[in-house]
Amino acid sequence: MLLAFKLRFPKEIYLLRGNHETRCVNRQYGFYDECKKKFPRKGVELWTLFQHVFNCLPMAGLVGTKIFCAHGGISEDLISFKQFDRVYRPTDVCDIGLLCDLIWSDPSTVCSMFDPSPRGVSSVFGKQAVINFCSKMNVDLVCRAHQCVMDGYEFFADQKCLTLFSAPCYCGELDNQAAVLHVSGRLECRVLTFKRDTGMATAEYARTVETSVPAGVAPSSTTGRAAASAGRPDSKTSSTGIVRPELNLDKTAGSPRPTENKMSPTASITKGDKKNYKAATPRKASNPTTPGKKT
């Protein structure tokens, strides 16, 4: 479905590569078998073609020059965005190095900088590593996925790192919510959370939580969505490893509408614990890194 959206809205939808968009992972964890089951005669051929598509996906994204997006997170080897100019696609991802870290790394409260990952591949990064990365790369937020978090989103490193997970009731085993991130033209963020679709209309079951980007995010003429971008952008894309969507704010027809109740910028909001938070005040995560089921 994501690829169908990309074909239909090529300048509005941007897809980043994750660890499951690698041959070794999707061969072992179900995608290969699914292709064979659904397409008995052409399943293996179709799976092989998918690998070429995955090898062409960007490894990271940059929204408004201030929000760095990658499936896993940051890398100790990433010291300049110019490094992406040397990442030519299509490309395989090795089991070590920069590209590996971008799709496999995780945040950790155990270390301050970087340590080997308990996954057995890539590394984990601590609070100070995120702070140093944001300062060095002149970004204010690292947006990543890769781990199931029960609220659908989770802050880390003084809100400089945000984990998003967009699949509710993951694998049918967990009671987690899902979340997406909406970014306004001023780089003000809203986290929109959702429960599993039980057959009701979206507006009946969607729950909206609004919070602001950490202090220091400068106004910008760019807006975006977590993995997709609203509006009708002109994208600076290339065959290298990073995508920089530049969006036209005059056209917002593609903006997500998870609820019929439009919230004003100064509205108070209600979380599951019934505590109210002001939209202008960043929400502090009480337990910023309690990774759930890993993906």
Contact residues for 268 (Cβ-Cβ < 8 A; gap 6+): 276, 277, 278, 279
Of 20, 52, 71, 146, the catalytic one is 20
Could you tell me if 263 and 208 are in contact, meaning their C-beta atoms sit under 8 angstroms apart? yes
DSSP state letters, 84-135: GGG--SS----SSSHHHHHHH-EE-SS-SSEEE-TTSSSEEE-HHHHHHHHH
HSE (CB half, 13 Å, CA atoms) of 29?
A: 10
The Cα 211–Cα 191 span in angstroms is 7
Is 52 annotated in the active site?
no
Three-state secondary structure call for residue 180: strand
- Enumerate the active-site residues: 20
